[in-house]
Chain A
Amino acid sequence: MHAETTQSRKAAALAAFAGLDHEPGVAKPDPILVVDKVVRRFGGLTAVNVDHVEIQRGSITALIGPNGAGKTTFFNQLTGFDSADEGSWAFNGKQLKGVPAHRVARAGMVRTFQLTKALSKLTVMENMRLGAQNQRGENFFRALIPGSWRGQEDEITERAEELLERFKLAAKRDDFAGSLSGGQRKLLEMARALMVGPELVMLDEPMAGVNPALTQSLLGHVKDLREEGMTVLFVEHDMDMVRDISDWVVVMAQGAVIAEGPPDTIMSDARVVDAYLGAHHDAPMSAEEFEEQLQEAEAELEAGIEEKA
């Protein structure tokens, strides 16, 4: 049963991408996020300059690119953690430019961080509870009347316990989050993000610093997000992971989106290879170039001989 839905969700996601152009900014059938002409400059450096990109609903999209391509800055802009100098982006049709980070999260677009942000001195359970939205007890005055929020707190705790069970953190329930291992913190951060009830989950390098034994389970959790109807956009360096779980790949280099395509062919795209390894690094030498080099070498030799004479 579960396997069947897995197949159908993945198939549905892949079907949505079938026949799309592999050009940057290609239109998707049902985009959850549409980005237009987003620019971020730091002094003279243009860190992000994305002309147009769409993220398909219900899919797992990877955002890759060489170091310094502007992936994280772009991520920060979309989620309200950094401002954009120009441009606009819409999530579910709602404009998000200039919207502060907490409102972005409330709108249903929740992110995790490259350097995991477990709240060390809170227990694992408190970390989870914090993620829940519209908590009555988070209002100063209602907080003073425990009866007004206890019922909701119990519901939140129940939901948190289910998630902890699924992420294999139930045994750590009452431990400080700071005592967890790096991989467990990643799991906790993902589980906590799910407490928000997001539609779009943005994962910034979910595999960074994770012990290989946990990698498979993390991958499984990311796939599960799609099965539950969520959309995932993630930044990652690990190409095996990208190939394994993503339905679509967006490639950034020097701040711009340079290519898009399915994961199995994207790495053979000439523009992507150029971005990672430099242009023409392996192109065969043409006959003219060969001739030119030969003449240069001869001229040098002759010059050497003349000097001696």
Chain B
Amino acid sequence: MDWNTILITTVKASIGLETVVYALAAIGINIQFGYAGLLNFGQAAFLGVAAYGMAVTVATFQLPFWLGILIGLAATIVLAFLLGIPTLRLRADYLAIVTIAAAEIVRLVFRSVKFSSVFGGSDGRQNFSGDFFAMNPYSPGTYGIGPISFNERVTWVLTVGWVLIAIACGLVYLLMKSPWGRVLKAIREDEDAVRSLGKNVFSYKMQALVLGGVVGCLGGFLFALGQASVQPDLFSTEFTFYAYTIVILGGAARVFSPVVGAAIFWVLLVFVGNTLSEAVSAGMLPSLFTVNNIGAVRFMLVGLGLMLLLIFRPQGIFGDKREIALDAR
């Protein structure tokens, strides 16, 4: 058992690319679900259209990087309106159904053979991150503390990622302290009451959907840039469910919960995965466990851990137990 490697990869996971991407996606979901009560089960699609919007603009059409970012943002906002206009007037469950279906449609269009000349089919798109890494202020080398260090490319992606997370958290903090955030939280509790007090509920729900989508789409850009490639299957429904898990793990409607939740989620996954694979190669586990199936076993164990957390701490890590108690009344 090489505990040293396990520890290093685990610590790196806590601030790594996955954590950054999932944290941004989860901050978006926290705005939509945690504060406004909107069940957007299509967050993966928001990241997907942003990532593809940028990648296709640069790789397929050879247009500038910043135009790609603008097109990605525009595509996210258009998607939010497309999903929101027909469903936000209806009950919450309808948004959930429509978004989960829309996310699959988006993914299947990206991987379709018909449009493979544009989106690249199941291989996706590469060769679009040149301009981004050309802006890299870090000279070649490794950056970090001792063994916990990254090369200059990863360091640049992570720097941008954590700055974006800080900005997103600051935005959420300011908004949710304000009367605007109060209206959002009130809508989560009871739409009709908010309507009866003269607030345009539809408009606020749309604002929350767009804002959550835009914050999430930043994660989409980083996901694509960090891997220097986009594939349709990165944006499958599991992505959205992991992001929901992260929000609930951290505690819904708390500013930092998606960030801490994302770090804990990836630390758990990486730690359990690496420990299992080290244990298997050291021959410490029964023959039932092989190198081929420990990937599934780690998700089972992490799932079990999350279940226990929700049973013994239903409000999540940052949640307020008094709020959960109110639901039981």
Give every chain A residue within 8 A of B174 (Cβ-Cβ). 143-144, 146
Give every chain A residue within 8 A of B181 (Cβ-Cβ). 143
* C-alpha spacing A274/B68, complex, angstroms: 73
| Contact in complex: B190, A117 (CB < 8 Å) | yes
Is A242 close to B, CB under 8 A?
A: no
A249 vs chain B, min Cβ distance (A): 24
Comparing B73-81, B301-309, B321-329, the segment that makes contact with chain A is: B321-329
Known: A119-B190, A121-B326, A146-B174. A102 touches B199 (CB 8 A): yes
Q: Which of A193-224 contact B (CB under 8 A)?
A: 193, 195-196
Is A149 close to B, CB under 8 A?
A: yes
- B191-214 vs A, CB cutoff 8 Å, 1 = contact: the mask equals 011111111110000010001000
Interchain CB contact (< 8 A) of A137 among B178, B186, B196, B197: B178
* C-alpha spacing A39/B244, complex, angstroms: 45
Give every chain B residue within 8 A of A83 (Cβ-Cβ). none
* C-alpha spacing A116/B196, complex, angstroms: 12
Known: A101-B195, A117-B192. A137 touches B326 (CB 8 A): no
Give every chain A residue within 8 A of B198 (Cβ-Cβ). 102-103, 105-106, 110, 133, 196
| Contact in complex: A144, B171 (CB < 8 Å) | yes
A94 vs chain B, min Cβ distance (A): 15
Chain A residue nearest to B203 (CB atoms) is A102
A102 vs chain B, min Cβ distance (A): 5
* C-alpha spacing A286/B207, complex, angstroms: 71
Give every chain A residue within 8 A of B178 (Cβ-Cβ). 137, 143-144, 146, 149
Comparing A19-27, A49-57, A123-131, the segment that makes contact with chain B is: A123-131
| Contact in complex: A111, B326 (CB < 8 Å) | no
Known: A140-B180, A149-B179. A102 touches B200 (CB 8 A): yes
Interchain CB contact (< 8 A) of A121 among B175, B179, B323: B323
Is A122 close to B, CB under 8 A?
A: yes
Give every chain A residue within 8 A of B175 (Cβ-Cβ). 140, 143-144
Known: A121-B326, A130-B186. A105 touches B207 (CB 8 A): no
* C-alpha spacing A216/B299, complex, angstroms: 60
| Contact in complex: B179, A129 (CB < 8 Å) | yes
A150 vs chain B, min Cβ distance (A): 10
* C-alpha spacing A277/B272, complex, angstroms: 72
Is B246 close to A, CB under 8 A?
A: no
Is B189 close to A, CB under 8 A?
A: yes
Known: A112-B196, A119-B189, A192-B197. A138 touches B326 (CB 8 A): no
* C-alpha spacing A138/B323, complex, angstroms: 24
Give every chain B residue within 8 A of A101 (Cβ-Cβ). 192, 195-196
Is A79 close to B, CB under 8 A?
A: yes
Interchain CB contact (< 8 A) of B193 among A79, A119, A126, A139: A119
Is A178 close to B, CB under 8 A?
A: yes
A236 vs chain B, min Cβ distance (A): 18
* C-alpha spacing A111/B196, complex, angstroms: 6
Chain A residue nearest to B208 (CB atoms) is A140
- A222-239 vs B, CB cutoff 8 Å, 1 = contact: the mask equals 000000000000000000
Chain A residue nearest to B326 (CB atoms) is A178
| Contact in complex: B182, A129 (CB < 8 Å) | yes
Give every chain A residue within 8 A of B182 (Cβ-Cβ). 122, 126, 129-130, 138
* C-alpha spacing A118/B189, complex, angstroms: 8
A80 vs chain B, min Cβ distance (A): 8
* C-alpha spacing A131/B179, complex, angstroms: 11
| Contact in complex: B185, A121 (CB < 8 Å) | yes
Q: Which of the listed residues A105, A106, A138, A144 has the most CB atoms from chain B within 10 Å of its own CB?
A: A138
Is B183 close to A, CB under 8 A?
A: yes
| Contact in complex: B196, A176 (CB < 8 Å) | no
- B286-317 vs A, CB cutoff 8 Å, 1 = contact: the mask equals 00000000000000000000000000000000
B190 vs chain A, min Cβ distance (A): 5
Is B177 close to A, CB under 8 A?
A: yes
Give every chain B residue within 8 A of A179 (Cβ-Cβ). 322, 326
* C-alpha spacing A108/B266, complex, angstroms: 52
| Contact in complex: A122, B189 (CB < 8 Å) | yes
* C-alpha spacing A196/B211, complex, angstroms: 28
| Contact in complex: B197, A110 (CB < 8 Å) | yes
Is A153 close to B, CB under 8 A?
A: yes
A234 vs chain B, min Cβ distance (A): 15
Give every chain B residue within 8 A of A137 (Cβ-Cβ). 178-180
| Contact in complex: B192, A81 (CB < 8 Å) | yes
* C-alpha spacing A121/B322, complex, angstroms: 9
* C-alpha spacing A192/B198, complex, angstroms: 12
Give every chain B residue within 8 A of A178 (Cβ-Cβ). 326, 329
* C-alpha spacing A136/B182, complex, angstroms: 13
* C-alpha spacing A139/B177, complex, angstroms: 13
Give every chain B residue within 8 A of A144 (Cβ-Cβ). 171, 174-175, 178
* C-alpha spacing A57/B302, complex, angstroms: 65
A and B contact pairs by CB, cutoff 8 A, 9 listed: A81-B192, A101-B195, A105-B196, A118-B193, A119-B190, A122-B186, A138-B182, A146-B174, A193-B197
Which 8 A-B residue pairs are closest in the complex by CB-CB distance? A137-B179, A143-B180, A143-B178, A117-B193, A178-B326, A105-B198, A119-B189, A101-B195
Q: A113-B192, A122-B186, A140-B211 are known; give 16 further A-B pairs, CB within 8 A.
A: A81-B192, A81-B195, A100-B195, A105-B197, A106-B198, A110-B197, A113-B193, A121-B185, A130-B199, A136-B179, A137-B178, A140-B180, A146-B174, A146-B177, A149-B178, A176-B323
Write the residues of chain A forming the contact surface with B, with a CB cutoff of 8 angstroms: 79-81, 100-103, 105-106, 110-113, 117-122, 126-127, 129-131, 133, 135-140, 143-144, 146, 149, 153, 176, 178-179, 189, 192-193, 195-196
